[in-house]
């Protein structure tokens, strides 16, 4: 390239190609772990090309969310509200572990992307048809946001030490696990096991334990919503109040 000449960028890009590159970066570094300049470098293009085809960083993130959910190929055919929610959210628990930061984005922004709207519409129809009435949106959001919050929590890597204090001053679940190990009490056995599984220095094992925890929480949230539905509809078999 001669001195003073302008660089020739790759301009023959599509919205899909840009989005796929951003999804790949998200899988590698997390949604908030890459910059627009890093995306342009990956594609050998300019910011103006990305702005033309997709938009600014916020719009690129929204496109990434849409593409990631499209990968899940969610089935919306199930008619039972509880089974429908469990199937959708269980698939989300498995899938979003590959894309750190996506769950947190959804918590901050809600499902304001084109490919998520049909899922929300289908879910709301099932909640209304089941009898949740004016509480349908709240019930639906509680189930989704509980799962998203737990997935986002799992995106946080366990802290292993703090060099500023000259020792392994552990925090998070690793710190809790270490503290509980030093307190031999039968009453803490289960909590020790839970904390140790969340802090284990093995990504695959830690992710498996976290997915199991998310599914347990999902089932308990759905249990609570089912009790509330029985209250709203006066269905027989309602559990006694505690």
Under the banding of pLDDT at 50, 70 and 90, the label for residue 172 is: low
Residues 139-147 have a mean pLDDT of: 96
Residues 107-111 have a mean pLDDT of: 90
How far is CA 222 from each of CA 30, 123, 163, rounded to the nearest angstrom? Answer: 29, 14, 43
Rounded (5°) CA angle 237-240-242 = 155
Under the banding of pLDDT at 50, 70 and 90, the label for residue 174 is: low
Whether 153 shows a pLDDT value over 70: the answer reads: yes
Distance, CA of 124 to CA of 106 (rounded, Å): 17
Token pair in block for residue 153: 């929590």
Token pair in block for residue 151: 């997935």
How far is CA 173 from each of CA 7, 55, 145, 180, 198, rounded to the nearest angstrom? Answer: 49, 39, 22, 10, 6
SS3 state at 162: strand
Q: Which residue ranges form the domains of the chain, and what is each CATH number?
A: 1-71 (1.10.10.60), 74-158+201-242 (1.10.357.10), 163-199 (no CATH)
Whether 101 shows a pLDDT value over 80: the answer reads: yes
Whether 240 shows a pLDDT value over 70: the answer reads: no
pTM for this entry? 0.79
Residues 130-159 have a mean pLDDT of: 90
The answer to whether the beta carbons of residues 102 and 149 sit under 8 Å apart is: no
Residue 75 has a pLDDT of: 77
| Structure confidence by residue, pLDDT tens digits, 215-227 | 999 999 999 999 9
| Structure confidence by residue, pLDDT tens digits, 176-201 | 667 777 777 766 777 767 666 666 66
Q: Is 6 exposed, middle or buried (0-12, 13-18, 19+ CB in 10 A)?
A: exposed
């Amino acid at each position: 390239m001669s001195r003073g000449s302008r660089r020739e960028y790759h301009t023959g890009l599509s919205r899909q190609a840009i989005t796929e590159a951003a999804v790949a970066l998200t899988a590698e570094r997390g949604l908030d772990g890459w910059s627009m300049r890093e995306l342009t470098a990956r594609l050998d293009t300019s910011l103006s090309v990305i702005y033309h085809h997709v938009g600014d960083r916020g719009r690129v993130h929204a496109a990434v969310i849409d593409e990631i959910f499209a990968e899940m190929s969610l089935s919306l055919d199930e008619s039972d509200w509880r089974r429908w929610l469990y199937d959708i959210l269980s698939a989300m628990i498995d899938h979003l572990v590959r894309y750190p930061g996506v769950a947190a984005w959804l918590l901050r922004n809600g499902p304001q992307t084109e490919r998520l709207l049909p899922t929300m519409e289908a879910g709301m129809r099932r909640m209304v048809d089941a009898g949740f009435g004016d509480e349908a949106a709240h019930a639906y959001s509680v189930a989704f946001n509980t799962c998203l919050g737990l997935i986002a929590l799992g995106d946080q890597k366990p802290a292993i030490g703090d060099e500023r204090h000259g020792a392994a001053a552990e925090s998070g679940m690793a710190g809790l696990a270490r503290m509980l190990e030093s307190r031999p009490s039968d009453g803490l056995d289960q909590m020790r096991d839970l904390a140790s599984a969340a802090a284990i220095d093995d990504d695959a094992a830690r992710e498996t334990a976290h997915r199991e925890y998310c599914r347990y929480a999902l089932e308990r949230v759905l249990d609570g919503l089912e009790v509330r539905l029985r209250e709203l509809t006066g269905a027989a078999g309602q559990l006694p109040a505690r």
